[in-house]
Amino acid sequence: MKLLEKLLNHCRQKSPWLFHMNSGSCNGCDIELVASIAPRYDVEQLGIHLEGSPRHADILCITGPVTFNTLNAVKTVYGQVPHPKAVVALGSCAASCNAFAGSPTVVGPLHRHIPVDVYVPGCPPRPDAIIEGIAKAAELLSHPERKPLTDEDVKDIPECGGHCVVSAVEPTVEGETPCR
């Protein structure tokens, strides 16, 4: 069984499927993300495939500061991605709202609502930085301790469309994300 586990983890790293979501971004980061699919950078050499449905994806790439209108959509899509999953916060807006901090329609950076694994800084980040971030997330997926959350872990959290892990809790220790 250990051999099968190793094979499974190796394959998880070699075939990370992506779903891209825009939670109110200016589209700069989105343009750089699709530039990384273009022939010059070609993420398909790493097995990365931009998928049409969140249920097909392993890695969720979210751009933009989470606006009030997109908050429910972000939580629902996060719940729809099956385990094991990784979240990449693309751009400095997703990490820290950048210039929009304090705006009444922006409900805060991404880590306040869903657990984030990798941050890719930049405004917008270069395509090679995005690919490095996705490759790092793919490597995190291959770690065997990322077991799926059970119903016990999520029972106090409001249900939205599947295994929704929603946390409005601020990280208590700098750098730590909840629900890990």
Partner 1 sequence: MKSIVQLLIQNVREGSITLPYPERPAIQSHYRGMVQNAPEECTGCGLCAYVCTSSAITVQRAADGFRWSYDPGQCTFCARCVQRCPKKSLSMEDTRPPVYQHLGALKQSHDVKKKKKPAVVAPIPQAVEAN
Partner 2 sequence: MQITTAILRLLVFPGLFFAVPAAWFFLYVERKTIARMQQRIGPPVLQPFYDFVKLLGKESPRYHGIQGLLMKAWPALSVSVLLAALALIPVFPAKGGFSGDLILLITLLELPSIFYMLAGFTSRSVYGKVGSMREASLSLSSNLLFLTAVMMIAVTADTFQLSELAAPSASAARWLGLAAIILCIPAKLRLNPFSTSSAEQEIYSGPLTEYSGADLALWELAHGLEWLALSGFVVSLSFPRTGFRLADAGIFAFLCIAMVVVLATIAAATARLTIDRSVRFYWRWSVALAVVFLMSAVLFRR
Task: List residues binding partner 2 (CB under 8 A).
Answer: 7-8, 10-12, 14-15, 17, 39, 42, 44-45, 47, 50-53, 55-56, 58, 80, 82-84, 148, 162-163
Under the binding rule (CB under 8 A), the answer on residue 145 touching partner 1 is no
* 7 binds, options partner 2, partner 1, none, Cβ within 5 to 8 A by partner type: partner 2
Under the binding rule (CB under 8 A), the answer on residue 99 touching partner 1 is yes
Under the binding rule (CB under 8 A), the answer on residue 142 touching partner 1 is no
Angle (deg, nearest 10), helices 127-141 and 2-14: 170
Q: Quickly list DSSP for the chain.
A: -HHHHHHHHHHHHH--EEEEEESS--SHHHHHHHHTTSTTT-GGGGT-EE-SSGGG-SEEEEES--BTTTHHHHHHHHHHSPSS-EEEEEHHHHHH-GGGTT-TTB---GGGTS---EEE-SSSPPHHHHHHHHHHHHHHHT-TT-PPP-HHHHTTS---SSS-----PPPSSTT--S--
Residues sharing a CB contact under 8 Å with residue 118, sequence separation 6 or more, in sequence order = 86, 87, 88, 89, 133, 136, 137, 140
Under the binding rule (CB under 8 A), the answer on residue 135 touching partner 1 is yes
* 14 binds, options partner 2, partner 1, none, Cβ within 5 to 8 A by partner type: partner 2
Minimum distance between the CB of residue 11 and partner 2, rounded to whole angstroms? 4
Under the binding rule (CB under 8 A), the answer on residue 128 touching partner 1 is yes
- From the list 66-74, 121-129, 144-152, 160-168, the region that binds partner 1 by CB under 8 A is 121-129
Site string for partner 1, 65-94 (x = CB under 8 A): ---------------------------x--
* 56 binds, options partner 1, partner 2, none, Cβ within 5 to 8 A by partner type: partner 2
Under the binding rule (CB under 8 A), the answer on residue 155 touching partner 1 is no
